Amino acid sequence: MKARISVLTLGVADLKKAVTFYQNGLGLRTEGIIGKEFEYGAVAFFDLQNGLRLALWPKESISKDTGIPVQEPSSLEFTIGHNVNTKEEVDAVMIQAEKAGAKIIKPAQNTFYNGYAGYFQDPDGHLWEVVWNPDFQVEE
């Protein structure tokens, strides 16, 4: 298998609320909810970078599509890393996320690898790490 991840899909409890958080709160671009005409088809896509997309899809729809019953989530299953180029950018994103309704899990602070990072949860409990790593340069 070649690494060709093009979509990361987050299961959400309330699609409209999740779209509002990501679109209005975090400023990610989307054309809004599409596929409403199909049972279990409503979804929203957000363009990220280099062709990568973030999809928000109701948990019930994912359950219907996969045949796996909706389960209690764990925020520790995976994290989404958002890398930036400065400590100040980490602080700015953390503030923006909190104002949008995110729960701050770990305030931004110095890391063991000489970086700077913090964690927040979106309204559905998905865990985001906002990171400045001096060894990574993020293309704008």
Segment 35-60, tens digit of pLDDT = 999 999 999 999 998 889 999 999 99
pTM of the model: 0.91
Here the contacts of 15-20 (C-beta below 8 Å, separation 24 or greater) are 15/42, 15/43, 15/44, 15/56, 15/57, 15/58, 17/123, 18/44, 18/56, 18/122, 18/123, 18/124, 19/44, 19/56
pLDDT at 91: 98
Q: Each residue of 107-119: pLDDT tens digit?
A: 999 999 999 999 9
Q: Each residue of 75-90: pLDDT tens digit?
A: 888 999 999 999 999 9
